[in-house]
Structure 1
Amino acid sequence: MQYRQILEELRSHVANLFLSHKDERFTYHNLNHTEHVVENVIKIANHYQLSDRDFFVTAAASWFHDIGYLYDPANHEARGMELATSFLKSKDMDDSIIADVKGCILATRMPQNPEGLLQQIVCDADLYHLGSNSFKARNKLMRQEVEAFKGHEIDKSEWRAKTISLFKAHHYHTDFCQRLLNEKKAENLAEMELKQITKHTVETPEKLPKEEKKKKDDKPERGVETMFRITSTNHQRLSDMADNKAHIMISTNSIILSVILSLLLRKLEDNPHLIIPTLLLLIICVVTMVFSILATRPSIPTGIFTKDDIEAKRVNLLFFGNFYRMSLPDYESGMNKLMEDRDFLYGSLIKDVYAQGVVLGRKYRLLRVAYNVFMFGIVASVLAFIIAAAAVTI
């Protein structure tokens, strides 16, 4: 079966349908969106190393999944299945393939409920943008399209609330997309929630009765909590990046050290002119590794707090290093007081964010030293080897 050739013909066929039924109102569900979904399907399908048949099924379904909008937006999945069936039958495709393509198209209907890996791939590709940097732009286009068909503007808060509901109801089905997109999706959701809360608190305070205002002031603001969550997530990501950078330095210099110890040192007796360059390279690698290891070496406090620390609100119970040696009843007692006291709670969150920042600052300072030593040291070592070789030649 010439799957690749049929896919090329299918792509041209779908593109022609979009062009011949062009409607300026479709700012989102257009050929550009379909091409993005196809790209996402290819990315996910390649990860799972699908067979040629299954790859064809997911790619064909992604090309046809939204074509029905041009004919019947309310039942676009059904119309897309009809168009896909008509085209595939004209190419003498097996009924089993046509059935799988139709199943993948139907699975994109909201709420998504895919069955099997192929349907999961198409569903995740269709809503891939929810966990990507392009979400804001794509969401704006979607809103413009809905406004164009409704004939009136949609309030931003109303649209944002519906989008937040979509985020909370949606989840990625493939483990590949879960690992790749969930973190960014959570950030996009947190940012929308923060905007929604900020707008709500700005617009409604004068309308609230005094008693409700007082109750509201006594409760932790969701916007503040979202801010702490986003900040903590960003710090964690930066910490992971620092650890990865340190791992790269350690691995690279370990390889260089292995080569030096196994090859160069044996030949120094016969090549005494290489002693200084080799020692220089050896020292550089060791120093780089030391600073990289220091950047990732954990520092753990005593793990003990006292009742006085709780009463004075000096201890941060959100960090394991401050309580890992305490008994569970003592920790529960401290946490109950923390949750009952707003100032204590927010103070602990502030201390936690600050402590993360201090640790990050130390990590990146040590990493900068390691990278500088490695960068300038490698240049110096290469020059030393060149000079040594030139001296022998002369």
Structure 2
Amino acid sequence: MQFGEAKKFILGKLKKELPQHLSYHSVEHVKDVFDSCKFIAAGEGVKGEDLKLLLTAALFHDSGFLKGPKEHEKKSCQIARKHLPDYGYTAEQVKKICGMIMATKVPQQPQTHLEEIICDADLDYLGREDFFIIGDKLFAELSVYGILSTEDEWNKLQVRFLEAHHYFTPTAIKLRKKKKDKHLKLVKSKLGH
């Protein structure tokens, strides 16, 4: 498994080919999820091959946006299946990676510990200081797609999303839940709730 080479390949491809209007699903988001996976994995005691598979999934999890936003998780798996064997990944490893990628589809339904970690990493920002900064990027992206047009609609969507979301790993629950709950209260207060 040539993890370093696979990482270099996919980050280069994303930098070069991702559409500019993706203010949220950008290379920065991929790097953020990668770092969050490392952080949560350390707290959960994940290392060795499992850690490499988890980090590979993080690098590829939104690569489907290269082919468009619709069902991007499936497209991400197609890209992973196409390219990872070139870097010495076995069919079984690619299958695990695709399981992790598919688990990030909202509503998240992880089946394994590694899938729980990537799900928590993908939405790590919900319980971090940069919640509103990153949220603004997602609002801008959704506005481009015509999904939302007003800040009020955005705040209502955020309330629904935050209320429905929960972290899976003990590490994320311990380190992110409290702050996430605080963000929910703040967004509700913007709506006068």
Relative contact order: is structure 1 or structure 2 higher (C-alpha 8 Å, sep ≥ 6)? 2
1:182 paired residue number? 177
In 2, distance between residues paired with 1:93 and 1:64? 13
Paired residue secondary structure (1:109) = coil
CA radius of gyration, larger in? 1
Q: Write out aligned runs for 1:54-73 (5 A).
A: 54-73=50-69
Q: Deviations over 1:186-206 (max 9, x none)?
A: 100000001111xxxxxxxxx
Superposition pairs of residues 152-301 of structure 1, within 5 angstroms = 154-197=149-192, 222=193
Q: Which runs of 5+ in 1 are unaligned?
A: 198-221, 223-394
**Structure 2: segments with no counterpart, 5+ residues:** none
**How many aligned positions are there?**
193
Aligned partners of 1:68 and 1:78 also within 8 Å:
yes
Give percent identity, aligned residues only.
25
- 8 Å CA contact 1:25–1:149 kept in 2: the answer is no
> Which runs of structure 1 show a deviation greater than 6 angstroms over 4 or more consecutive aligned residues?
none
| CA RMSD after TM alignment | 1.4
Q: CA deviation at 1:50?
A: 1.7
Bigger helix fraction: 1
Q: Distance in 2 between matches of 1:36 and 1:20?
A: 18
Per-residue CA distance 1:78-104 (angstroms, 9 max, x = gap): 110011112221123222211110000
Aligned to 1:299: none
Q: How does 1:28-107 map to 2 (within 5 A)?
A: 28-107=24-103
- C-alpha separation between the residues in 1 aligned to 2:148 and 2:155? 13
Deviation, structure 1 residue 153: 6.4
TM-score by length of 1: 0.48
Separation in 2, partners of 1:32, 1:131: 18
Residue in 2 that maps onto 1:365: none
Mapped contact 2:5–2:87 kept (Cα < 8 A): no
Give the TM-score, by structure 2 length. Answer: 0.95
Q: Give the superposition deviation at 1:52.
A: 1.1
State how far apart, in whole Å, the 1-side matches of 2:99 and 2:32 are. Answer: 20
* Cα distance in 1, alignment partners of residues 48 and 129 from structure 2: 31
